[in-house]
Amino acid sequence: MPHGQPVTSSQGISYAQASELDGILQRYLEDPTASWGLGTFGAIAEFHRTAEEPAHIETGKILRAVTARGALCLVPSPEMRAFAYELPGAGLESWNQALALCLPAEHAAMHRRAVITECGLDEAALRPEDRHAVLFDLGFGTEQVDVCVRTAEPQALEALRASLGRSPLAPDTRLMPLMPRLSPHRVFLCRFARVEVYQRIPGPNDRPPEGPHTHVLPNLLRHQRTHAATIPIPDGWIPCLHLYPASPMHDALGQPRPFDRAAYADFQTLLETFGDPELRQLKALVAQSVQAGRSPEDCLLPETRAGRATVRVAIRQLAQLDGDSPVLASWRQAFDRSEPAE
């Protein structure tokens, strides 16, 4: 089940968004500055591509993007809903933004296998040449995603089959340390999407590669959460796939860049359509108060984690949009402080 504070009632959610959402997803699939993440708390597969990278893209009823480094396939579901949100970033000036594609909790569950399991040939592989390879569920027991690997290499098949029936988190399971050397394809599956990663797995001291890659963090997986408590997803919904439009503050490699007003405005449009209306009103109130020169003492700190995060994001965005001022500095001092670590 989802964790964290609810940010709105079901009455505040727009349920007539399916046709509009389909067009938005098609547009961002064709946008090389956007990226995607399929996973859960502690395990995620990320799909990125560059404008120069050859890609096979389909934008019909099935959305598909395939490159030499990885692939994404998305089949919009009638039960799927989108929730746009913003969160403070790690730096004192940045923020993060995402569109979470969610399912009701009762429709989101995958196989939740708790041991390493051989699943047979991956006949649904996104490239024909991969359909003769064998799919293995790594057995993390995650709620909304099956975390799998795929291989046809004899050495990798031998290592995976030697670990069948064991938990990947058990002390006597030696499979995970072998993964960088074996480097099978990673295949993450939810009810309406799959991400495949073909690049090699980096070693313990290596940086993640540019482009598609995965993060699997056993210490976080042990918590058995569907998502971080900081992500403002309404109760009863589980995020499965995230769309990350171009950041106004960072480039595709996560490096700081000059503030991009066009990228900022682009996401604000998504926020207006798919964001929580109470949080949008709160952000507008902060902007009006700062621009009117009101003291932060005149505005009580919201009691919810989502509300406090929204105030911090509003302050950081005002600094980029309007520049610093003594009034904004006082608001930052009062409200833009770190939350307890997740």
252 and 297 share one domain: no
Among candidate residues 328, 298, 334, the one with its CA nearest the CA of residue 315: 328
Tokens, residue 336: 């833009």
Query: Under a CB-based contact definition with an 8 Å cutoff, are residues 75 and 58 in contact?
Result: no
Q: Is residue 342 part of a domain?
A: no
Q: How far apart are CA 108 and CA 80, in angstroms?
A: 10
pLDDT tens, N- to C-terminus, the chain (342 residues): 333 333 333 334 444 466 689 999 999 999 999 999 999 999 999 999 999 999 999 999 999 999 999 999 999 988 999 999 999 998 778 999 999 999 999 999 999 999 999 999 999 999 999 999 999 999 999 999 999 999 999 999 999 999 999 999 888 888 999 999 999 999 999 999 999 999 999 988 888 888 999 999 999 999 999 999 999 999 999 999 999 999 999 987 788 899 999 999 999 999 999 999 999 999 999 999 999 999 988 877 778 999 999 999 999 999 999 999 999 999 999 998 765 544
Helix (H) / strand (E) element for 321: namely: helix 305-322
Last residue of a domain, one of 225, 249, 275: 275
The amino acid occupying position 93 is E
Q: Is residue 10 part of a domain?
A: yes
Last residue of a domain, one of 228, 252, 275: 275
Query: Under a CB-based contact definition with an 8 Å cutoff, are residues 217 and 76 in contact?
Result: no
| Number of domains the chain contains | 2
The amino acid occupying position 297 is E
34 and 72 share one domain: yes
Tokens, residue 191: 């009810």
Beta partners for 65? Answer: 57, 72
199 and 149 share one domain: yes
259 and 300 share one domain: no
Among candidate residues 173, 172, 185, the one with its CA nearest the CA of residue 214: 185
176 and 294 share one domain: no
Q: Which pTM value belongs to this model?
A: 0.91
